[in-house]
Structure 1
């Protein structure tokens, strides 16, 4: 038999996709020379040529950004007999560049320009969706709904009701792991021999784990005052064991409650009614099925009763 405080842990997953709208290349331009000035000149000149070539291709200058420029000594470790020696080989200058093209059909030609330019190493190249974060949030919401539906099915199978979620975890990287469609070996290919095909969609996924309360016994009975002609109310008092309905069920959720109503002596006065969550600045419930019986038996104003929750579901 289940005792109050028991929980169920479930997982939920969802996938999401979005049409690609940007082609991104992240590359590094570098040169090692005997002097720092020569290495810096190589990198500065190559970056300038590369930017000019990309603009001539049809890209706007704002689609190209350079960052992380550095010049560092380049050392070589030499082992001679049992002696180890560190020797200065020269100086390495490098600058990183990011290219974001909204013209997806230019992907192959962009790679050609980068590869042909020399002194460059492509670190990543692929298609992406600029509004991917919104889709990632949708995936998390859908994963949460999937977890909740599983928990509801388990609770129904066990003959108990489902309460609030008490903990939720998710892989922080999971919802962003597929936000780009990376090209295979993009740094080595040329579009003449390896055409760059635009993917139909950028795909991703999200997974969460959630723990829900399982409600049984006295936690299903709450005292309330019926006091509104519109049949919605929020004056749920602690029941005979001191519980408030808000402690076990979130009245801000899209809930559907199948209930019956008893008077304070335990006599059934409403056999069946269906309530839904109604949030008008504060938690509440509204009768959506069985209104006539409710009005006839309870009236529209006044009176204290016991609400017996027989089934909880989410819509």
Structure 2
């Protein structure tokens, strides 16, 4: 028989992509401006308590920006865009709003914040509870079918667990530009689900 167990908990980690996206007339100008702004963002999230191992470069790119001339429809390079973005994990949820705010302010008008979502990294106790509920769910079903078959439930033959993926609630898709005040954060709740298939003998 199959059973499932679901337990809800409060997320303990916020993950976000922060950084800068800069456009200037030349590659060197764009690169210099992006490097300076990205370092300010890194310094800001570090000051907000984000550990070095929770800061990882996700994207770095240099791309020309083209404009099309009227008439012969030829294109020309109008400037260059440099993007430098980091994935950060904020483990202090209470401080996450001020940390995101600080990163946006540090990036100025070139700031980018996106892909913000919550995670449950320390979910060992919730998994234990979900396993208990999943097994009990399967056992109750098995007992009912055994009774319907005019038999008793015997020994457990096998147990196979399937840990269901938990959806991550997002409170924002994209925030670009300068924040005027601390970003309001609502972590809500997140489910941990375990599915289990248990085989019993019929006694």
TM, length-normalised to structure 2: 0.68
- For 1:93, the equivalent position in structure 2 comes to 82
* Cα displacement string for residues 220-274 of structure 1 (whole angstroms, at most 9, x for unaligned residues): xxxxxxxxxxxxxxxxxxxxxxxxxxxxxxxxxxxxxxxxxxxxxxxxxxxxxxx
Decide whether aligned partners of structure 1 residues 64 and 93 sit closer, same or farther in structure 2, where only a CA change above 3 A counts: farther
CA contact (8 A) 2:118 2:187 kept: yes
* Cα displacement string for residues 104-129 of structure 1 (whole angstroms, at most 9, x for unaligned residues): 33222223223333323222334443
- Matched position secondary structure for 2:165: helix
Structure 1 Cα separation of the partners of residues 194 and 140 of structure 2 = 14
CA contact (8 A) 1:160 1:214 kept: no
- For 1:176, the equivalent position in structure 2 comes to 166
CA contact (8 A) 1:36 1:71 kept: no
- Alpha-carbon shift at residue 99 of structure 1 (Å): 3.0
Looking at CA atoms only, which structure, 1 or 2, has the larger radius of gyration?
A: 1
- For 1:113, the equivalent position in structure 2 comes to 102
Matches within 5 A, 1:1-315: 10-56=1-47, 58-59=48-49, 62=52, 65-74=55-64, 76=66, 88-116=77-105, 117=107, 118-132=109-123, 135-136=126-127, 138-140=129-131, 142-162=133-153, 170=162, 174-178=164-168, 181-184=169-172, 187=175, 192=181, 195-197=184-186, 199=188, 202-206=189-193, 208=195, 210=197, 212=199, 215=202, 309=203
Structure 2 Cα separation of the partners of residues 211 and 85 of structure 1 = 68
- Alpha-carbon shift at residue 44 of structure 1 (Å): 1.3
Decide whether aligned partners of structure 1 residues 20 and 212 sit closer, same or farther in structure 2, where only a CA change above 3 A counts: closer
Higher helix fraction (1 or 2): 2
- Alpha-carbon shift at residue 74 of structure 1 (Å): 3.7
**Unaligned stretches of 5+ in structure 1?**
1-9, 216-308, 310-315
Decide whether aligned partners of structure 1 residues 110 and 162 sit closer, same or farther in structure 2, where only a CA change above 3 A counts: same
Structure 1 Cα separation of the partners of residues 198 and 75 of structure 2 = 58
- Alpha-carbon shift at residue 131 of structure 1 (Å): 1.1
Aligned length: 199
Decide whether aligned partners of structure 1 residues 64 and 151 sit closer, same or farther in structure 2, where only a CA change above 3 A counts: closer
TM, length-normalised to structure 1: 0.48
**Unaligned stretches of 5+ in structure 2?**
none
CA contact (8 A) 1:108 1:191 kept: no
Cα-Cα RMSD: 4.1
Higher relative contact order (CA 8 A, sep 6+): 2
